[in-house]
Amino acid sequence: MKKLYLSLVAMLVLFSLLGSLVMADEHGDMAKVRVLHASPDAPAVDVYVNGDLTLEEVPFKTDSGYLEVPAGTHDVEVFAAGTEYAAGEGVLQADLEVEAGKAYTVAAANLLESIEFVVAEDSMEVTEGQAKVRVGHLSPDAPAVDVGVIGGDALFSGAEFPGITDYAELAPDTYDLEIRLPDGTQVLPLEGTELAADTVYSVFAVNTVDSLEVIALVDYEAAASPDEMPTTGLGTPEQSQSMWLLIGGALFLVAAGGFVWRKRFQ
Amino acid sequence: MGLCGENDFNKFALPLALVFLAGCTAAPQDEVSIRSAEVGFAVKAEPARSEQPKKVEKAKAAEKEKPAAKSKSKQAANPINELNQPGIAPEMLSIPSIGIEADVTHLGVTDTGEMAVPDNGEELSWFSPGYQPGQRGRAVIAGHVDDLDGPAVFWDLTELEPGDEIIVSGENRELRFKVHTMESVPLDLADVDSVFGYHSSPELVLITCSGTYDYDRGTREERLIVYASLVEE
């Protein structure tokens, strides 16, 4: 239980850290982290990052979405939701090292009594026009499985707990997929799975083998960005001043003209 | 005569000088710069997303309706297909709290690689090669703060407050976003890849110019960036 707490705390910490720093100015040195609660018998958790409450009451099968955190090492500690924070007292704790510009999934996996972090680096790129997928085996008592096309080839073979496979790139299309045992026995059907172009997916098998289910997350969707910010002002600050100068100048001309005119007639 | 003329000139010169002085002091030094000098806020993001539990509830509800339909699987729908979150090509943007309502054009990049903007102060531009509003990621819409006649469409953007609603419409859909962060960032420090980058949930980013005018660069030194998150329908 203490381990679980540590794990959870770590997750929470990550979330907090990420959350509080999302809009920090030092964008250049940031990493992305998302936390996933994949421990089937663990309670909802609070996650503390570097001692700050970052995520609150995260239930099983919930992910935080990507949070931005500074690159470096962060103390992530997980507590059962509502537990008072005490450094080192969580059910799960980890010093998580993250690199600038990279993205990570931090899953709290396994049953509570053996709760552990499973960390994977997530892909933030995909070949233009392609879809990209990987699977994570986070069902603590399920055997090794394959994921493949029903009646066809396996896309991923021999995925074991607690592991997350490499990515596979596929043409965007609708696939009749299944999770199956290496002997071909179907464990979970995933018929009509639509994989979109320019999108990166993670598919996690969670819960215990008798209640096996899938959590699907989008890791990344590609889109273009410009090199530079827009130039969003058509005016310049001295426009108003130059108006006054113009008026002043005009008055001066009128006055000077009057002066000359008067002088001539004197 | 000469004296008289000089006297006359003095009579004119004094009021003229006053006019100039008045002109200089009355002219706003640089209102855009003043208005954006101390802006910025960030609402702490809600710690955990409830997207997954909601989906699970949905799946459970579906199971109740059709108890026999999916006996083999605990999930009623393919969870991968539930990830589909299409956006819209925006046509109109309105911000009721500061009285903005404007057409949105679709533009890409300029020859120099900048995000392109409209050639007038009334319209807004959506960066169409990037994310669509409503899709996961940051959809960016820019507008001018001023034009040759004075204030332009995003003149009052600094007046936004946390929680203000931004409504984007197009393709017969209306999306509502809630403002959560505003910052004025020096141009050299702006992380363009992040501002236009991927995000796990749909976000809308509004950009206009802020800070003092840099005559060498021909633009203002900062950009006002407003972040808003999609309000689930």
Crossing angle for the helix pair B2-26 and A238-264, to the nearest 10 degrees: 170
Interface A-B: count of C-beta contacts within 8 A: 244
With residue A37 as reference, give the H or E element that holds it: strand A30-38
pLDDT for B18 equals: 46
Q: Is B228 on the interface with A (CB under 8 A)?
A: no
pLDDT of A249 strictly over 90: no
Q: In sequence order, what are the residues at sequence separation of 6 or more whose Cβ sits closer than 8 angstroms to the Cβ of residue A117?
A: A7, A10, A11, A76, A92, A94, A96, A106, A107, A108, A109
**Taking the mean position of all CA atoms in its chain, how far away is CA A132?**
16
Q: In sequence order, what are the residues at sequence separation of 6 or more whose Cβ sits closer than 8 angstroms to the Cβ of residue A246?
A: none
pLDDT for A20 equals: 44
Separation CA A83–CA B47 (nearest Å) = 16
Separation CA B142–CA A232 (nearest Å) = 7
A232 closest CB neighbour out of B30, B144, B227: B144
Please, what is the average pLDDT of chain A? 86
3-state secondary structure of A157: strand
Say which amino acid occupies A79: F
- Whether the link from the prior residue into A162 is cis, omega within 30° of 0, is yes
Whether B107 contacts B126, CB under 8 Å: yes
Tell me B109's DSSP state.
B
- Give, for all 233 residues of chain B, the pLDDT tens digit: 333 444 454 555 545 444 444 444 444 578 888 888 888 898 865 544 433 333 333 333 333 333 333 334 444 589 999 999 999 999 999 999 999 999 999 999 999 999 999 999 999 999 999 999 999 999 999 999 999 989 999 999 999 999 999 999 999 999 999 999 999 999 999 999 999 999 999 999 999 999 999 999 999 999 999 999 999 86
Q: How many residues does chain A have?
A: 266
Whether A215 contacts A61, CB under 8 Å: yes
The pTM score is 0.78
Window A:19-38, CB contacts with B under 8 Å:
19-20, 22-23, 25, 27-28, 30, 34
DSSP string of A138-153, one letter each residue: --TT---EEEEETTS-
pLDDT of A166 strictly over 70: yes
In the sheet with A145-149, reading across from the earlier edge strand, the strands are A154-159, A145-149, A173-180, A186-195
Window B:87-106, CB contacts with A under 8 Å:
none
Q: How many residues does chain B have?
A: 233
φ and ψ of A150, to 5 deg: -60, 125
How close are the terminal C-alpha atoms of chain B, in Å?
Answer: 84
Nearest CA in chain A to B27: A241
Nearest CA in chain A to B18: A248
Say which amino acid occupies A61: K
A156 CA to chain B: closest CA distance, Å?
Answer: 16
- Residue of A229, A236, A240, A263 best to disrupt the B interface, most CBs of B under 10 A: A229
φ and ψ of A127, to 5 deg: -60, 135
Pairing between β-strand A103-109 and β-strand A116-122 as defined by DSSP bridges: antiparallel
Residue A237 and residue B213: Cβ atoms within 8 Å?
yes
Q: How far is CA B122 from CA B144, B146, B153, B154, B207, in A?
A: 8, 10, 5, 9, 14
3-state secondary structure of B86: coil
Say which amino acid occupies A96: L
pLDDT band at A184 (very low <50, low <70, confident <90, very high): very high
3-state secondary structure of B60: helix
Separation CA A97–CA A71 (nearest Å) = 8
pLDDT for B29 equals: 73
pLDDT digits (tens, 9 = 90+) for A119-160: 999 999 999 999 999 999 999 999 999 999 999 999 999 999
B222 CA to chain A: closest CA distance, Å?
Answer: 10
Alpha helices by DSSP H, B87-230? 192-195
pLDDT for A38 equals: 97
Largest distance between two CA atoms of chain B = 114
Nearest CA in chain B to A48: B47
The conformational region for residue A62 under phi > 0 = left, psi -120 to 50 = alpha, else beta, is: beta
Nearest to B52 by CA among A146, A54, A34: A34
A56 closest CB neighbour out of B23, B42, B48: B48
Window A:196-255, CB contacts with B under 8 Å:
196, 201, 203, 211-218, 220-237, 239-241, 243-245, 247-248, 251-252, 255
B27 closest CB neighbour out of A57, A212, A240: A240
Q: Is B37 on the interface with A (CB under 8 A)?
A: no
Q: In sequence order, what are the residues at sequence separation of 6 or more whose Cβ sits closer than 8 angstroms to the Cβ of residue B68?
A: none
